[in-house]
Amino acid sequence: MNFFEYRDGEMYADNVRVSEVAEQVGTPFYLYSTASLTYQFNQFKDAFGDLDLLICYAVKANTNQAVIKTLGDLGAGADVVSEGELRRALAAGIPAEKIVYSGVAKTESEMIFALENEIYQFNVESEPELYQLSEVASSLDKIADITFRVNPDVDAKTHAKISTGKSENKFGVPWTKVREICARAAELSGIKLVGLDLHIGSQITELDPFEEAFTRITGLIETLREDGHDITRLDLGGGLGIPYEGDDVPPLPREYAAMVKRVVSHLGCKIIIEPGRFLVGNAGILVSKVVYVKSGEKRKFLIIDAAMNDLVRPSMYDAYHRIDPVKESDEDSTLYDIVGPVCESGDTFATNRLVTPMKKDDLLAIRSVGAYGAVMASTYNTRKLIPEVLVKADEFAVVRPRPSYDDIIGLDQSAPWLSE
């Protein structure tokens, strides 16, 4: 469903005019829809029915506290990859017993914090991590529930920079070595092996890679049980894609859930899934204003006040994002390069894109930016981080304000010898 729709020629988010937010907040800004977040979460929950399921929102996709709390209030747990994300999840009210800790480089201090807060499980990514976690847990007189993250050597058929389940990727334990590592884990006093975990990538648009990986890990669980391990949890990770382009139609949650039930339900494990992009991606837009319309020799440019530091995906991944005017027009579309003000040729959101003719101060919306948008932003070129705004029904609230230049510059400190 589309929760950013036109009414009487104007774009609305839920029941709020996007142009009204722009008038009060100023551009550029991120705008998130509570109705979209709710709809996406409930799609996943309803698709799995009565299966013993824990949905852990992958916090890395969007770390705004209001977004995390909205999903937490719906029943989501959290998948975190750093102490900072763990602290965010706890601060947003996610119970520690619904938090799983992923990530390839958990430090001793991060382990201590997670153990002291009694999180649900650690998704262990390597043998060295296993030994350090056992040592840390034992020193605290605690036992860490762990799943091993298995690298199943499966091609997710997604962008190379967001593929995580092939043998050459840095993530997880090679599936061929899982038995021997689990045998070692069983001998450690600070560890309780409770399951296996995998995550093969992001923005996956077909079910076959999932099924191949899940089938492989199902066989491993059966083997580990024969070896005497009490495997009760199976963490299937996330990765289900969203539509960015019109002809890009990923599987629906009900199709994904049907496959999961068919492949793994006979194991009787508690199933954990870690959706991120699917929950928040289409729930957000980036609203920007046209600064100049510039005609080059061969190109026509819309220069807008948003930039690559605000949304890096097009520059980093050559990612496609649909771009629409905030106010509809009956005029025939025109080809534009849509670019930002940063001093980089890579500061380009779209090339040769058909858009309604626009002029200075017109507003446009870059769609599907709720995931890996604000969370990857920076202050490059000493540009202010842009506000995040959450809409619910006919209300909106700024959930991260725009900092001042003093806020940004004030983070720097002078060296002692420079103050003389």
Whose tokens are 């013993």? That residue is 52
Task: Give the other-Cβ count within 10 Å of 107's Cβ.
Answer: 13
Identify each DSSP E strand in 159-310 by its residue range.
Answer: 173-174, 191-197, 233-235, 270-273, 284-295, 300-304
Calpha distance 198→153 (Å, rounded): 11
Contact 9/327 with Cβ under 8 angstroms?
Answer: yes
Residues 319-355 as b/e (b if ≥16 CB within 10 A, e otherwise) read bebebbbbbeeeeeeeebbbbbbbeeeebbbbeebeb
Considering the candidates 56, 182, 269, 343, report the single residue annotated as catalytic: 343
Residues 364 and 304: beta-carbon distance below 8 Å: yes
From residue 198, how far is each of 80, 211, 220 by CA, in Å?
14, 12, 12
Q: Is 343 a catalytic residue?
A: yes
- Residue indicated by tokens 């990923």: 250
Pure H helices in 77-157? 83-91, 108-116, 127-139
Identify residue 210 by its one-letter amino acid code: F
Selection from 72, 79, 120 nearest residue 103 by Cα: 79
| Alpha helices, DSSP H, located in 140-195 | 178-185
Residues with catalytic roles = 343
